[in-house]
Amino acid sequence: MGCLEEVTQEGPETNRHNDERSICLHAFSDLSHVPPATFIYLLKDYYVYGTNKATSKFKILLQLVKVALHNAPQPGPFTYAVQCMYIVPLLGKTYSEGFSHMLTSSLKHFKSVESVQKDFLEAKHLAAQLVLDILDSVVPHENRILVKLLETFEIELRDIAHALHGSELDDDLVKAREHLRQYVKCFMESESNAIAVALITRFSIQCCDESFLVKLIGSNQLDIAEECATFMGKEMICLVIQKYLDMRMLKSANKLVREQDLSEEFPEVSYLYKESLVKKFAEKGCWDIAEVRAKKDTKLLEYLVCLAMEAGYMEKVDELCQRYSLEGYVNSLVPEKVFCGSDYLDLKKLDVEEIVWVDEVNGLLNATSCLEACKIIGMDCEWRPNFEKNSKPSKVSIIQIASDKIAFIFDLIKLYEDDPKVLDSCFRRIMCSSNILKLGYDIQSDLRQLTQSYGELQCFQSYEMLLDMQKLFNWVTGGLSGLSKEVLGLSLNKVRRNSNWEQRPLSQKQKEYAALDAVVLVHIFHEHIRRQPQFGISEGCKAEWKSHVVSRVNSTRNPLRL
């Protein structure tokens, strides 16, 4: 009974508390002469005066109840628990549901104990009467507790008939089912659908039709709809599947087809679901995962090629064609299928003059000198996506820093391996300069990722004049692409977002994608300033964006507003 010590701790009136604890310890260690009411109120006192958080107290008391129910409750643990369930509502809503859940959960492991089987069978009659009393609102338990009672005590129609009529004859079973049907109708009318379906399926009550299933699906109560349809038979299951298909709920449709072995009736569902997964990952830029999902299915791979073409990801098209010999399929596509580049912003539209790849010390020093001469720069970084659960994030591979005309892409992995001290020194000159306004989008997240990747470097832990464009434009949705669309009129093509940024050399398209994410920030900022003619570049305009600028002098201090 040591768990009691965890619920409470001694206060100033130690002797009184010890006396009370001794009484409770004795009560819980021998229930043979402890009435259910006393047991419940002792539990409440321990809960009320406990010093732990509510969840911890509940877990401790649950273990306590499990142990206590082994200590000779009369006439047995199941009957004793039902008697307690009659008393629990008197404690009020604050305790009723939690304590009822505690009692029913504590009984699960008793079902395999041979010595209490007689008590279980006798307690079923009392539990059935409790169910009826709850349905009649004589005992105010929640519907969830009613369902748990039905499950814990395995209440059958004959138990309800015995509680109602004292016998289990056929006529009494019919009357019992009709009696329950009236409650089901009331629950359906009040939209208490979970308990309605629980009663329908447990007691085989024919009380629902197609319209009820449609209503459940429309209110997104899918598990309940499927449970009800399974009870009603194959025709209704097929109806639910078709509704899922009509609503493009392909995952739910595919799951139900597999569970009910209805692939012959719905042969296209499996493919449609796989196709939707391929499209979902492609739209997120997770092309490698989309390819794995295609699983060398020629039709799905052809679909993936179409998605890549529509996105303008032509190097991915070429890669897939070479790997799976799909050149003939691509040549058969009509020209209209090919992506139109004008739908997105690109470096040419911004008149960017140069992308400079930096992976050695001399290039790093030259790039740093060039950037120090800029008043405004944009920053972003990329790393290889890692989709394995509970795995460490990949190391940041590159960082892009750009003015409005030139973009530098720094190979952080190689520069760090070659000379971390020079890398740290150069980036500190940029990050800690109060003369350079540094723009980013959700830049604090990038800095956290950089610090995790290169924690020994100080350059990513201290900074001056940092402006997060996400906070400046916090009313715009859709990420950096949505912000570009809002301010510059064209969104960004993000299909390469989750490509492999650790491969060397990066493709030209990867470099252009990376450079654009940094350059576009500068252009967005300039356009924002230009659209405020009433301020121009006056102090009024500066005040608007300067309120979002942050600095952090060192890694131990919080960012300070300027």
CA-CA-CA-CA torsion sign (239, 242, 244, 246): negative
The pair phi, psi for residue 383, each rounded to 5°, is: -145, 160
Cα distance between residue 560 and residue 558, in whole Å: 6
Mean pLDDT within 457-466: 94
Q: What is the pLDDT of residue 2?
A: 45
In the beta sheet, which residues pair with residue 398? 382, 411
Q: Mean per-residue pLDDT for 485-506?
A: 89
* 543 within a domain of the structure (yes/no): yes
Q: Please give the Cα distance from 437 to 430 (Å, whole number).
A: 10
Examine the pLDDT at 48 and tell me if it is beyond 70: yes
pLDDT for residue 483 is more than 50: yes
How would DSSP label each residue in 407-449? EEEEEHHHHHHH-HHHHHHHHHHHHT-TTSEEEESSHHHHHHH
Cα 396–Cα 397–Cα 401 angle in degrees, nearest 5: 90
Q: 193 in a domain, yes or no?
A: no
Higher-confidence residue: 243 or 386? 243
- Reported as a pLDDT band with limits 50, 70 and 90, residue 532 is confident
Residues 398 and 533 both lie in one domain: yes
Report pTM. Answer: 0.65
DSSP 8-state symbol, 88: G
Res. 23: pLDDT tops 60:
no
How large is the average pLDDT for residues 306-332?
86
Q: Is the pLDDT of residue 20 over 80?
A: no
Say how far apart CA 97 and CA 206 lie, in whole Å.
Answer: 30
Residue 172 belongs to a domain: no
Final residue belonging to a domain, choices 314, 339, 364 = 339
Q: Which region among 215-219, 392-396, 557-561 has the lowest average model confidence (pLDDT)?
A: 557-561
Burial class of 401 by CB neighbour count within 10 A (0 to 12, 13 to 18, 19+): buried
- State the pLDDT at residue 554: 66
| 508 pLDDT above the threshold of 70 | yes
pLDDT at 12: 44
Q: Which segment of 397-411, 499-513, 544-558 scores lowest on mean pLDDT?
A: 544-558
Supply the DSSP symbol for 506. Answer: P
**DSSP bridge partners of 378:** 402, 439
Question: Among 86, 107, 88, which residue's Cα sits nearest to residue 96?
Answer: 88
DSSP state for residue 507 in the 8-state scheme: P
Q: Which of 126-140, 286-300, 384-398 has the highest mean pLDDT?
A: 126-140
Which pLDDT score, from 0 to 100, does residue 22 have?
A: 47
Domain membership of residue 348 (yes or no) is: no
526 within a domain of the structure (yes/no): yes
Across 123-140, average pLDDT: 95
Q: Check residue 495 and give its pLDDT.
A: 79
Spatial separation of the C-alpha atoms in residues 403 and 518, rounded to whole Å:
8
Q: Which residue has the higher pLDDT, 57 or 80?
A: 80
Beta 396-402 vs 354-358: how paired, if at all?
Answer: unpaired
pLDDT at residue 59 in the model: 85
Tell me: do 366 and 333 sit in the same domain: no
User: At 26, is the pLDDT very low, low, confident or very high (cuts 50, 70, 90)?
Assistant: low
Q: Give the model's confidence band at 224: pLDDT under 50 very low, under 70 low, under 90 confident, else very high.
A: very high
Joined tokens for residue 32: 């043979």
Amino acid present at 470: Q
Same domain (yes/no): 332, 416: no
> What would the 3-class secondary structure string for 107-176 be?
CHHHHHCHHHHHHHHHHHHHHHHHHHHHHCCCCCCCHHHHHHHHHHCCCCHHHHHHHHHCCCCHHHHHHH
Quickly state the pLDDT bin for 8 (edges 50, 70, 90): very low
Query: Mean pLDDT lowest for which of 13-27, 396-410, 432-446, 447-461?
Result: 13-27
In this structure, of 37-51, 80-94, 439-453, the range with the lowest mean pLDDT score is 37-51
Q: Is it the case that residue 518 has pLDDT exceeding 80? A: yes
Q: Give the whole-number percent of the chain exceeding pLDDT 90.
A: 64
Same domain as 239, residue 277: no
Same domain, 288 and 369: no
For residue 496, the domain's CATH number is 3.30.420.10
Neighbours of 523 (CB within 10 A): 21
Report residue 376: phi and psi, to 5°. -135, 130
Q: Sign (positive/negative) of CA torsion 518, 520, 523, 528?
A: negative
Last residue of a domain, one of 120, 155, 190: 155
Question: What's the mean pLDDT when you consider all of the chain?
Answer: 87
pLDDT at 334: 56
Q: How far from chain centre, in Å, is Cα 315?
A: 33
Residues 383 and 511 in one domain: yes
Range of the domain at 298: 269-339
Tell me what pLDDT residue 498 has.
Answer: 81
The answer to the question of residue 164 being in a domain is no
Instruction: Assign residue 442 a region (left: φ > 0; alpha: ψ between -120 and 50; beta: otherwise).
Output: left
Q: What is each CA distance from 70 to 27, 31, 278, 366, 535, in whole angstroms?
A: 13, 9, 55, 78, 79
522, 404 Cβ separation under 8 angstroms: yes
Query: What average pLDDT score do residues 74-82 get?
Result: 94
Question: Is 65:44 a contact under the CB 8 Å cutoff?
Answer: no
Residues 367 and 443 in one domain: yes
Query: Is 500 in the same domain as 531?
Result: yes
pLDDT confidence of 11, banded at 50, 70, 90? very low
Same domain, 330 and 426: no
Does some domain include residue 24? yes
Of 133, 73, 56, which Cα lies nearest the Cα of 107?
73
Average of pLDDT values for 216-237? 93
pLDDT of 337: 46
How many folded domains does the chain comprise?
Answer: 4
CB within 8 Å of 528: residues ≥ 6 apart? 472, 487, 545
The DSSP-derived string for 375-394 is SEEEEEEEE----STTPPPP
Indicate the helix (H) or strand (E) that contains 403: none
Same domain for 274 and 255: no
> Does 123 fall in a domain?
yes
| 457 and 441 in a common domain | yes
Task: Return the percentage of the chain with pLDDT > 70, whole number.
Answer: 89
Res. 536: pLDDT tops 60: no
Say what the pLDDT of residue 500 is.
Answer: 85
Out of 11-25, 132-146, 403-417, 501-515, which region has the weakest mean confidence (pLDDT)? 11-25
Same-domain check for residues 370 and 389: yes
Q: Which of 287, 314, 339 is the last residue of a domain?
A: 339
